[in-house]
Structure 1
Amino acid sequence: MKNKVITGFFWKFGEQISSQLVSFVLSIILARLLAPKDYGVVALVQVFITIAQVFVTSGFGNALIQKKDADETDFSTIFYLSELMSVIVYAVLFIASPWISAFYDNPELTLVLRVFALQLPLSAFNGIQQAYISKHLMFKKVFISTTIAAIMSGIVGVVMAYFGFGVWSLVWQALSSTIFVSVTLAVQVKWHPQLKFSWEAGKPLVSFGWKLLVTSLLGQFFNQLRSLILGKFYTTTDLAYYNRGQKFPDLITTNIDGTVSTVLFPTLSNINDDLVKVKLAIRKSIKTSTFVIMPLLFGLAATSRPIILLLLTDKWSAAIPFMQILCFSDVFDTVSNTNMQAIQAIGRSDIMLKLEFVKKPLYLVLLIIGINIDVYAVAWTMVIYNVVAVFINMAPNRKLLGYNIKEQLSDMIPALLNSSIMYLVVDFLGNTLSTPLILTLVIQIFVGVAIYVGIALIFKMEGFKNVLSVLAKD
């Protein structure tokens, strides 16, 4: 199992890095070819698609992973339920799209939303394939499919943007990516839906999964509410700057924290009858992931100006403050997510749902306050919310696993302090150096790495030892 976990982490991380790197490079090209307004329109549509996909991909796939003896009947039953849900959700979006366009006073949204939403039935199929892969820790197959999809869909987007298709280049890039993933996974994964359906088999899975679905729905709705409100009370250009600033920290959280969560959940599900092992696993995960993620986010915040100006040019300079603020916002996400994966793996989806009802009123209050100040205040409310949310997400594991908040703080504070020291120095260099942007960025990166690794060596940080151990085994 230990070797499978390490191998799974390696391939999942490789998949994230390769696909995100390709997508990132292509997005830089697209950002130079397209106007911020084009991104704003797609960002607004993406809000509705993201929420809709919760009904299609969240909850039931995880229920299959969490059930140790899930068989062909279980997988096929959940597949048909997911596909039925995807058709219903698509129909709702198709009918509602004219009203959505009218609400935002943008007629272009109707057709864009209807076409964009075609990926929902494919996402339902992908969700079950991903569940099968995660359950068996076969992440090499995902690595292949997502890398191919990122390259091919990127080419589609760039070619269409070059020939002046504007917003449609982004729509078809996203849609073609889902198509390529579906096709390549169908070729590689031996599981395919069979003519089997059992409501008796599906009931316990639905019972577990609906709580995760509602949990994800609440999370995604409130996450996307920020974009919905920005698009309504400000402009699609403001929304584009906000989303572009968010893309950079998302690269880190998606690639590293997303990898940890994807591999950690099936791993913990396999040992969920031994709570001592679960606690040891998440403690090690928090020490290791915070050691890696926190300095990357702090470093990204400190180097945001040269990065955006060099990669995206001056026309995206308004995204710099959003990038800085949202890097700070994501710092504690890995601790929150690890705690949530543990709660989910031991079968307590009911607790996850209760946590959302505790957190989301605070989210809404902070968002209302931010909207009434300015667009930057909206971003800062995310920082405040995530700091409070991490303590809320920690709380249940004090009773479930005997992993109290004091222990969790002691596991993550070394990386937080080290990252903060590194940030202060790197940010100071960025504000004082008068060298060309590329040279400033190189100096900042070199000094930041030297300081962070140096402190880790001097104080013999456990997270550093864990990273070296993983690298040595690979």
Structure 2
Amino acid sequence: MPILARLLTPEEFGAVAVALAVVQFLAMIGGAGLASALILEPKEDAETIHSVFWANLALAFSMAAGLYVFAEPLAGWFGASDAAYLLRLMCLLIPLQLAGDVAYALVARRMQFSRDALWSMISESIAAIAAVVLALVGFGIWALVAQLFVAGAIRLVGLFFVSRYLPRLRFRLEGVVRLARFSLGLMGSEVANFVTFQSPMVVISRFLGLADAGAYSAANRFSSIPNQVVLSGVMGVLFPAFSTMMHDRERRSQALMLSTQVTTLMLAPMMFGLWALAKPSMLLLFGPQWAAAWPVLGLLALSKGLLTPCSTFIPYLKGSGHGGALFWWAVGRAAATTAAVAWGAHDGTLIEAMVALCLVNAVVLVGYSWVVFRADGTPFLSGFYRSVRPMLTAALMAFAVRLALDHYLAQHVHPVLQVGIGIALGGLLYAVLVLLTEGPLLRKLLELVRRPRTAAVASLP
């Protein structure tokens, strides 16, 4: 990401980001939530699985054809008229993505996440290398496009390999219709969540132009790395895990609180730490042409940091049978996020739009927690305090690092050392604060780590 940012322009990043947002939205609608419904099926029925695959593929090609035909008016509406040619090419990503949905559903049902993670790592690594090579030899924006296609193709092969799934020419409409009835609620919430995450890009492109959209895209991709590292596996595991606890309220409630505390414990220091070190990080990693965008990176990290306790809420509501609550909350959150960013960007700047995003996310944190703890039957105040406590600790750590940076390190130390010293100082402060505030959680985690070893030793002759 930093290498590509030094070789390409903000406008190029913005054009690809806007086109990708459209493609992903149509791919989500085209899937109709059928793969998610397969995960919750009591057993694997071959005829239903094949039927979902062919239904997904037919919808995918229909969506791709529609995007190809209406590429120019769509690009103009998003404020990116020059990106119509990208939409026509990137429409092929829709069938490339949906062709693997059934295979991923089988992987999730069987909890084969370690194998899937290996292929994800391979696909993203090879795609990143290909993009950098193409950018170095002068392919410009096509390096970003190639990255998407290479990653998608390798990921598709990996999913079929891990799941051992081979499509056959079998189709039963009744099975697809049955799953579609159930999946519509899940799809509605997923569409709303997608709008929440992608609407800022569309709003910024429309009101502020492709250059600001590119700055937002680069900062957003970089600030999303901690979420991708921690949550990409966790959220995939939690959905089927919570679904198995649907009728065991006590076990489900304990799993919700533990998973929320642990993900916040890991994610919050990364996000708030990135806020503290945004300025030297942007200059060091992205280069002088992006240096002015460091407040955008910092504010995006802050907005994501505020939501770290919410990381487990979506799989919890999906897996525990609270699809209605998830849908209405997702719709409200999408509307609030879009309105806040539009309000900040309409007569202001990109920074003002990001400030508005931070404010609405603070409200979302409280509201989302209330919805989930009410659905779980957990007292709101006690559940909310336990879930946000690691976040407050991380915020205190980041504030101390930011003070040290602003009042001493920035004037006397090179950006490389600023980042290194900031990480070391933040890590030390956070470790001390966690030991002081999260003793019961740490003892619980230690117990969980020791339990399999104890069981293994006890089984020895």
Q: Report if TM-score (shorter chain) is over 0.5.
A: yes
Q: Deviations over 1:383-402 (max 9, x none)?
A: 12222223332334444321
CA 1:464–1:313: 2 relative to 1, 3 Å: farther
CA 1:72–1:273: 2 relative to 1, 3 Å: farther
Match of 2:103 in 1: 129
* Stretch moving more, 366-375 or 248-257: 366-375
> Are positions 1:179 and 2:157 aligned together?
no
Amino acid at match of 1:391: V
Match of 1:425 in 2: 400
CA 1:200–1:287: 2 relative to 1, 3 Å: same
- Contact 1:391–1:405 (8 Å) recurs in 2: no
Q: Distance in 1 between matches of 2:331 and 2:4?
A: 39
- Of residues 414, 437, 461 in structure 2, which corresponds to 1:459? 437
CA 1:332–1:428: 2 relative to 1, 3 Å: closer
Post-superposition shift, 1:340?
2.3
Match of 2:348 in 1: 373
Q: Distance in 1 between matches of 2:403 and 2:309?
A: 28
- Of residues 310, 325, 330 in structure 2, which corresponds to 1:351? 325
Amino acid at match of 1:227: M
Match of 1:413 in 2: 388
* Stretch moving more, 405-414 or 377-386: 405-414
CA 1:240–1:403: 2 relative to 1, 3 Å: same
CA 1:469–1:160: 2 relative to 1, 3 Å: farther
Q: Distance in 2 between matches of 1:425 and 1:346?
A: 39
Instruction: Report the aligned-residue RMSD.
Output: 2.2
List aligned pairs for 1:96-245, cutoff 5 A: 96-103=70-77, 108-245=82-219
Amino acid at match of 2:226: I
Match of 1:63 in 2: 37
Match of 2:378 in 1: 403
Post-superposition shift, 1:232?
2.0
Q: Deviations over 1:406-449 (max 9, x none)?
A: 13212123212211221121111211211112122211111111
Amino acid at match of 1:232: R
Q: Distance in 2 between matches of 1:438 and 1:357?
A: 42
Q: Deviations over 1:193-234 (max 9, x none)?
A: 233333333333212211111222222234322212211221
Match of 1:324 in 2: 298
Task: Return 5+ residue gaps in structure 2 as ranges.
Answer: 454-461
Amino acid at match of 2:420: V
Q: Deviations over 1:300-325 (max 9, x none)?
A: 11111221211111111122101111
- Contact 2:80–2:210 (8 Å) recurs in 1: no
Normalised by the length of structure 1, the TM-score is: 0.88
Q: Distance in 1 between matches of 2:388 and 2:284?
A: 33
Q: Distance in 2 between matches of 1:408 and 1:204?
A: 37
Q: Deviations over 1:12-39 (max 9, x none)?
A: xxxxxxxxxxxxxxx2222222222211
CA 1:399–1:37: 2 relative to 1, 3 Å: closer
Q: Distance in 2 between matches of 1:208 and 1:333?
A: 28
Q: Deviations over 1:34-74 (max 9, x none)?
A: 22221121112112112112124462222111223242223
- Contact 1:37–1:240 (8 Å) recurs in 2: yes
Task: Return 5+ residue gaps in structure 1 as ranges.
Answer: 1-26
- Of residues 364, 383, 388 in structure 1, which corresponds to 2:358? 383
Secondary structure in 1 aligned to 2:139?
coil
Q: Deviations over 1:287-340 (max 9, x none)?
A: 111111111111111111221211111111122101111111112434334222
Post-superposition shift, 1:110?
2.1
Q: Distance in 2 between matches of 1:100 and 1:396?
A: 35
- Contact 2:268–2:305 (8 Å) recurs in 1: yes
Amino acid at match of 1:248: F
> Are positions 1:443 and 2:443 aligned together?
no
Match of 1:37 in 2: 11
CA 1:135–1:104: 2 relative to 1, 3 Å: closer
Normalised by the length of structure 2, the TM-score is: 0.91
CA 1:120–1:219: 2 relative to 1, 3 Å: same
Amino acid at match of 1:292: M
Q: Distance in 2 between matches of 1:308 and 1:325?
A: 13
Aligned length: 448
Q: Distance in 2 between matches of 1:459 and 1:410?
A: 12
Post-superposition shift, 1:471?
6.0
Amino acid at match of 2:320: I
Post-superposition shift, 1:249?
2.1
* Stretch moving more, 244-253 or 284-293: 244-253
Post-superposition shift, 1:179?
0.8
Post-superposition shift, 1:345?
0.6
- Contact 1:56–1:85 (8 Å) recurs in 2: yes
Identity percentage of aligned residues: 21
Post-superposition shift, 1:87?
1.2
Secondary structure in 2 aligned to 1:331?
helix
Q: Deviations over 1:339-371 (max 9, x none)?
A: 221211122322221223333343343233212
